[in-house]
Structure 1
Amino acid sequence: MRIGFLVLITLLASSCDAVPDQFGKLDLKKWRGDRGGCNGVRATLVPDFKAEIQNLKGKRANTIGDLLGRPDINQIEDRNQKFYIYFLEKGTHCDGPGIKSDSRSVAIRMSAIGLATEITFQNGLP
């Protein structure tokens, strides 16, 4: 019985997919490694990100978080909608948490059922 349990645990662990390092043209490892866009790497990845926008729409919030990493800002809106905001360049937000920034960012709107429905680019927050 103990061997069966160990086999089951091993199968379950091996069936879990690792987070990919690439999503189409977008290098996710570089994206996730540049938290807040403070190192200037995300700015160089914007064309590749834009090429994958349609493939990101419809993905679940957890999948977006796994792919792109934890959002720089998680903004809650009315009717259980939220925005995942990722800064694309260095700005005042890099100086400390909670500091307002007008740096370029991308916002991914999540519907009440947790699906990415809209992706917009702006300066600061949407």
Structure 2
Amino acid sequence: MKDFDSAAWKADKNACKGDRARLAPEFEKIRNEMVEKKEYVVRNVLGKPDKENLLERSQRIYYYYIEAGDQCQDASKLSDANRLEVRINSLGKVSEVNYSHPEKLKKPE
């Protein structure tokens, strides 16, 4: 995950600046490496999630927007903008990393 610009990703809270959209193809290259990593690794690479959903049995989903949308005007609501969804199991490990709208993504070169 050394080639990913983590600082730029973290600085673009709610993806309102457009940096995350630019970084999405780069993230796609490391997306599968995130699976089975501990929660703290995700937070080190992507920062604090834009939104979080607590599920039953201590599972969580972290949401990281990758395109601007309604969340830029009202951060309290979950927007329909494309976002990264990181599912964390009860052991604190990443079990899935998906997109809410995968069809909108540009594929890495």
Q: TM tier, shorter chain?
A: 0.7 to 0.9
Match for 2:67 among 79, 84, 89? Answer: 89
Instruction: Give the TM-score normalised by the residue count of structure 1.
Output: 0.75
Give unpaired runs (5+ residues) of structure 2: 102-109
Does residue 72 of the first structure (1) align with residue 50 of the second (2)? Answer: yes
How far is the alpha carbon of 1:113 from its aligned partner? 0.5
Distance in 2, Cα, partners of 1:57 & 1:100 = 24
| Counterpart in the other structure of 2:26 | 48
Does residue 31 of the first structure (1) align with residue 6 of the second (2)? Answer: no
Matched position secondary structure for 1:26: coil
Q: Deviations over 1:77-99 (max 9, x none)?
A: 12211001100011111112312
- Larger RCO: Structure 1 or Structure 2 (Cα < 8 Å, ≥ 6 residues apart)? 2
Report how many residues are paired.
101
Match for 1:102 among 80, 98, 101? Answer: 80
Q: Percent identity?
A: 27
How far is the alpha carbon of 1:61 from its aligned partner? 1.0
| Counterpart in the other structure of 2:99 | 121
Match for 1:61 among 24, 34, 39? Answer: 39
Distance in 2, Cα, partners of 1:75 & 1:91 = 19
